[in-house]
Amino acid sequence: QVQLVESGGGLVQAGGSLRLSCAVSGRTAYIYAMGWFRQAPGKERELVAAISGSGGSTIYADSVKGRFTISRDGAKNTVYLQMNSLKPEDTAVYYCAATLYGPRRYEKEYDSWGQGTQVTVSS
């Protein structure tokens, strides 16, 4: 397993941008596919985006396509989620997660999780 620490959350107005970071520690961090999930109050946790270990393959939730971009920097062992054109409905706690099995849509397929970072988008 790897250890994950998210940062970069905060309060932003609708239409604004934020970049979340997930620092990944562990000798074999590069082989893990990484996902960003979010959970809004009263809702189930859902995939936002995921990226393969090489960074060559990505998947996105339909609700964020064209607005959010997932990327990773192997040298820094860090995964990013660039969020543009934010909407109030993007308000949630955002989690990064790691899996050995390539980009996956379902949280049960991830076995390491960060503690989460709050993103609040005001209207």
Contact partners, residue 106, CB within 8 Å, separation at least 6: 47
Residue 90's nearest CA partner among 49, 59, 58 is: 49
List of E strands, 1-123: 3-7, 10-13, 18-25, 33-39, 46-51, 58-60, 68-73, 78-83, 92-99, 112-113, 117-122
pLDDT digits (tens, 9 = 90+) for 54-63: 999 999 999 9
Mean pLDDT value of segment 36-41:
97
Mean pLDDT value of segment 60-67:
98
pLDDT digits (tens, 9 = 90+) for 89-100: 999 999 999 998
Mean pLDDT value of segment 79-106:
96
Mean pLDDT value of segment 66-92:
96
